[in-house]
Chain A
Amino acid sequence: MLGQTIVNGLLLGGLYAIAAIGFSMVWGVMGVINMAHGAFIMVGAYVSYFAFATLGIDPFLSLPLSMGVLFVLGYCVQRLLLNRLMRTSLLLSLVLTFGLDLVLVNIFLLIFSADLRSVNTFYTSRSFAIGPVLIPYVRLAVFVLALALAAGFYLFLNRTKAGQAILATSLDKETVRLMGVNPLRVYALTAGVGAALAGAAGTFASMLFPISPSMGITFIGSVFVITVLGGIGSIEGAVLAGLVYGLIQAFAASLLGVNFQEIVAFVIFLVILVLRPQGLLGKRFYGEVA
């Protein structure tokens, strides 16, 4: 029971982490709280569902496809819409992304209706046992891939020129201009990569849960908590916070009862906000540039 609880929490935490990284990054670099992030996850889920249902492509193989589609979507949204708001107030970007969320959800309602859909492969819901603990194959694969993507994204930020430009822009967008970096282009790149990670989370979610156009809303609350818990803009923080969040929920559910899992998670969130407002691994400068 204890082992199973830990496994449940950790495996789900991996998905939470990948769902939160893009959101956290966009917030950290641009100061934009992307209310459409949940809808991006939903779009990613439908890309994989569509590829599976009509073309028979395994969801693990459609991962690059959903990431690509979402990269383009995120990039275009930033380039065409959000960049125009970057010099105005944060509030406007909230309104715009909230509106975008409504538009996306309703477009998908029109196309796919509110029916619940699901990706059912031959390995769906299968699991193997280690002693008394059962580990579902798909959840384990999702966990490993999510951590690999997070690590890859971390390396991208720290080892590539584009990544360095993103980090530098998040520190000081005025100075980077002097270094030959165009902040608006960096913003678009950041938004694109953030959306691509949301797309990956969507693909993973489609393998684990029934999907519907309104599914994003079940993620956005958790994503928000994990971002603040981990420290805004911090990749390693989001991963750590995702796993912690998953474990907290699992233990609260097994020790106190299932309907306590969210209460406990949010209480701990509040405690961290009071005691350590920069989050577990947040650095002071992140998120302060907006």
Chain B
Amino acid sequence: MSKVRFTRLVAAAISVLALTAGARGAGAQDVLKIGVAISQSGTFVREGEFLRDGYQMWADKANAAGGVKIGDKTYKVELVIYDDASQAQTSAKLTEKLITEDKVQFLFGPYSSGIANATAAISERYKILTVDPMATANNLFTRGYKYFFCPAALGNTGLWPVVLLLQQVTPKPATIAIVGPDDLFPNNNAAGAKEKAEELGFKVVYTAKYPKGAPDLSTVATGVKSAAPDVVLASGYSQDSILLVKALRELQVAPKAIGLATAVAVPDFRTALGPAAEGVMGVDYWAPTLPYSDRYFKNSRQFADDFEKRFGHAPQYHAAAGAASGIILQAAIEKAQSLDSTAVRDAMLQISGETFFTRYKFMPDGTNSLATLFVSQILDGEPKSVFPADIAQAPYRYPAAFK
């Protein structure tokens, strides 16, 4: 009896000691508070949670390494996270609350440009630096915001890496056709691709927008066939891209290259097309095969493994972008040697380097001039990154020799 009581007493004493020690530890180490108003319910729950877990992954890594260093002080990272329920207005309100009540020093942005549209106006008003890798709509960066940064590639650049690849090949193709569904994101991609292609001296000989969800694309393939371009670029989603490749094959349209704005690494793509997928190129934001490295992750494979260990499932590019945002913010804070938002903002414009997700060098408008999308090509039935050369797993095949 008394033995049990004694054990309890000791246990209680130890836990009190541990608690006070913990409190003292926290007191000795300062806290860097970063606010996150993000979708944990509603339409964007899936993407929002990936992004949030990416931010958390960085915070864990930074804390495990001792925290963020400014002078001889180290700051422990604390994320203050609220659920914006996928509502822009809610997200804006929560952003204001994070700034005025929780007194966060910095912000990580929400998922999707639509919501960021509302929150960026608030954070800008309070001059609180925000890093948001998932706000990629071009119009967010034409408003003169000074405190809003996006490390990922912008929406209209979805086909640029394919166009840049085409500029390298010999003989350089002369003519390009650009087709895609009539929808906001694909239209952005297509317009961006057309502009870039013409800037680089290609001739865009055929463009077509088909209705979203069109059941058959043989009419588009017929149009492409009569224009006989060297290259076909498609700005759409998985399903219509599959349909398009099938229709082109049926009408024996064999351009020298087919480039899609969708990831050809998606398993559906290969299984749905079978041998017809061979040689098709597609653009991707991130893959575990990227060799870039940073202070926490020696490459993307390590990030993927660590993430899976921590959260129990494989990461998507949202998570990778989230973790990379933290690494970039930490670099800027340590460069500025200050927690002052304006000082860190100035440092953001000075730093450059690489994370496992992307290289970075920011422009005054908040965009990342080194943001990298990359091209994968199906080679011998497997998707391989082929461009840019420094991250290529295999040389690209051009012409693709479609049968």
Contact = CB atoms under 8 A, between A and B. Distances in A.
Interface string A248-281: 0110011001110110000000000000000000
Contact of B219 (A129, A208, A212, A254): A254
Interface residues of B, number: 35
A254 B223 contact: yes
B370 interface: no
A217 B219 CA distance: 20
A12 B220 CA distance: 14
Contact of B218 (A8, A124, A262): A8
Interface in A74-101: none
A164 B239 CA distance: 43
Interface in B231-257: 238-239, 242-243, 246, 249-252
A120 B273 contact: yes
Contacts of A125: 246, 249-250, 276
Instruction: Give the interface centre of B179, B216, B242, B273 by most chain A CB atoms within 10 Å.
Output: B216
Interface string B52-91: 0000000000000000000000000000000000000000
Contacts of A210: 239, 242-243, 246, 268, 272
A144 B208 CA distance: 30
Interface string A129-153: 1000010100100000000000000
Interface in B349-386: none
A61 interface: no
Contacts of A136: 250-251
Contacts of B209: 257-259
A124 B273 CA distance: 10
Contact of A12 (B182, B216, B249): B216
A261 B226 CA distance: 18
Contacts of A156: none
B239 A261 contact: no
B316 interface: no
Instruction: Give the interface centre of A118, A126, A218 by most chain B CB atoms within 10 Å.
Output: A118
A259 B182 CA distance: 8
A124 B220 CA distance: 19
Contacts of B238: 116
In order of increasing CB-CB distance, the 6 nearest A-B pairs are A253-B219, A120-B274, A118-B272, A125-B249, A136-B250, A218-B215
9 contacts: A4-B222, A4-B225, A4-B251, A5-B222, A139-B250, A217-B213, A218-B215, A253-B219, A258-B223
Given A117-B271, A259-B208, 16 more contacts: A118-B242, A118-B271, A120-B276, A125-B246, A129-B252, A208-B246, A209-B215, A209-B216, A217-B213, A249-B219, A250-B219, A257-B208, A257-B209, A258-B219, A261-B210, A261-B211
